[in-house]
Amino acid sequence: MEARVRKFILAFFLCALAALPAKRHLAETTEGPAGLILQQIIQETDSTRRVEYLRMFLERFPQHESYTWVLGEAQTHYLAAKDFDNVLRAGETLLLADPADLPAAHIALQAAQAKGAANLVQLWAQRTADAALRAEPSDYARQCLAYAEYFLYAPALQSSDPKVLQSAAARLEKANPASEYLPQLRARIFQLHRQSGNIAQTLALAEAKLKQDPNQPDMLLFLASHYYDGLKDPQKAIAYAKRLIAPTSKAAPSQAALGHTILGVIASQDARLADAELHLRAAIPHLDPHPALKSEALFHLGLAHYRLGESKQDLKRIEQAYKLHAECATLAGPFKDQAASSAAGIRSQYHLK
């Protein structure tokens, strides 16, 4: 069992189930045959005899107002005795009486896990998550929800099948759309589709993910890069790149730099020189891990400086253009030779040292 699961289980045993669900009612009166058995249940300290009293009550008084309280007590004993089938049956009955009976669902989930039946684990993880969301907010409810989410996510841990991962994602989203496991699971699904070479499916998945979270940087970057590559659709590339660099985006500086590169190069090609300069200057300091892109950014920034310098007879800009193209010429990439030729031409034309 993983350390994380052990941590969850330990937390549950340490957490007292102080607030019983509202429908688990223990009658105050101890009159009559039912009352006498209830009194024995409450007072009995021997586990074996207490279970017998519990069974006796459940068999004789199924309509009694204390029935769900007794069944909850019995469910705990069943789990300790590894009578897992009775644990699950008790859980079914208790949840029918009260869908927010979180202890009943959680105990049943433990029984399903102990049985090793994957279908039962998934079923009771879903029911536990549902009960946790219905229950009064508490540390116990939050721990139960996290515990259930883990078992909904678990099938995806050992699988690289997109269908298995998508099924796990659907269960998690139904259980808790804010689950901590969903972003990493969606990222894995996306990467598997991307590696499969099915571009249409990958694009559709990326678009779907952005509908769920409009600020996912990986999806924005993929879509911006896809439409930028070969200038398939410059306007779409611009739209996604702008979202990637927006203050609301969750993009890291290195991701935002790629968005700035896309915007800067397209602006340079469209002769929007001020925009090109703005975006490429923002990008270059973060492009060291991407030498080919840095080469492209340096070349286009140099080109923007050169054109602006020529139009305004600004020698400082011309000198900057020369330095940028000279630096670009030192980097491996498709612009290396072109940058070297440009730098030599600028140097000769303006007699730069």
Among 206-215, 249-258, 280-289, which is the least confidently predicted range?
206-215
Encoding tokens for residue 13?
A: 């045993």
Mean pLDDT over each residue of the chain, to the nearest integer = 84
Mean pLDDT confidence for 321-337: 91
Which residue matches tokens 């429908």? 23
Q: How many residues does the chain have?
A: 353
Question: What pLDDT does residue 293 have?
Answer: 87
pLDDT at 44 over 90: no
Under 8 Å between Cβ of 297 and 259 = no
Please state the separation of Cα 254 from the chain's center in Å: 21
Model confidence at 320, pLDDT cuts 50, 70, 90, reads very high
Model confidence at 29, pLDDT cuts 50, 70, 90, reads low
Give me the percent of the chain exceeding a pLDDT of 70. 89
Selection from 213, 206, 219 nearest residue 179 by Cα: 213
Alpha helices in 98-181 (DSSP H): 102-115, 118-134, 139-153, 162-175
pLDDT at 12 over 80: no
Question: What pLDDT does residue 93 have?
Answer: 93
Encoding tokens for residue 275?
A: 């925009």
Model confidence at 3, pLDDT cuts 50, 70, 90, reads very low
Mean pLDDT confidence for 92-110: 93
DSSP 15: S
Mean pLDDT confidence for 16-32: 60
Question: What pLDDT does residue 196 have?
Answer: 64
pLDDT at 285 over 90: yes
Render pLDDT for 122-167 as a digit per residue (tens, 0 to 9).
Answer: 899 999 999 998 888 889 998 999 889 888 888 887 777 777 787 8
pLDDT at 23 over 80: no
Q: CA torsion angle for 305, 311, 313, 314 (degrees, to 10)?
A: -30
Provide φ and ψ at 293, rounded to 5°. -70, -35
Selection from 189, 110, 124 nearest residue 152 by Cα: 124
Model confidence at 89, pLDDT cuts 50, 70, 90, reads very high
Residue 234 burial (CB count, 10 A): 15
Distance CA(194)–CA(244), nearest Å, equals 19
* Distances 279 to 90, 228, 247, 251, 334 between C-alpha atoms, Å: 64, 15, 15, 16, 20
Distance CA(340)–CA(342), nearest Å, equals 5
- Map 289-307 to HEC letters: CCHHHHHHHHHHHHHHHHH
pLDDT at 16 over 60: no
Selection from 188, 191, 186 nearest residue 202 by Cα: 191
Domains in the chain, please, with CATH?
252-353 (1.25.40)
**Strands, E assignment, the chain:** none
Question: What pLDDT does residue 18 have?
Answer: 38
Question: What pLDDT does residue 219 have?
Answer: 85
Render pLDDT for 175-229 as a digit per residue (tens, 0 to 9).
Answer: 877 787 876 776 676 667 666 666 787 788 788 878 878 888 888 888 888 888 8
pLDDT at 279 over 60: yes
Q: 220-227: which pairs have CB atoms within 8 A and are 24 or more residues apart?
A: 220/244, 220/249, 220/251, 220/259, 221/251, 221/255, 221/258, 221/259, 222/190, 222/194, 224/258, 224/259, 224/262, 225/258, 225/262, 226/199
Distance between first and last Cα of the chain: 69
Question: What pLDDT does residue 9 have?
Answer: 37
Model confidence at 2, pLDDT cuts 50, 70, 90, reads very low
Encoding tokens for residue 93?
A: 């009955």
Under 8 Å between Cβ of 72 and 20 = yes
Model confidence at 14, pLDDT cuts 50, 70, 90, reads very low
DSSP 216: -
pTM of the model: 0.53
Give me the percent of the chain exceeding a pLDDT of 90. 39
pLDDT at 7 over 50: no
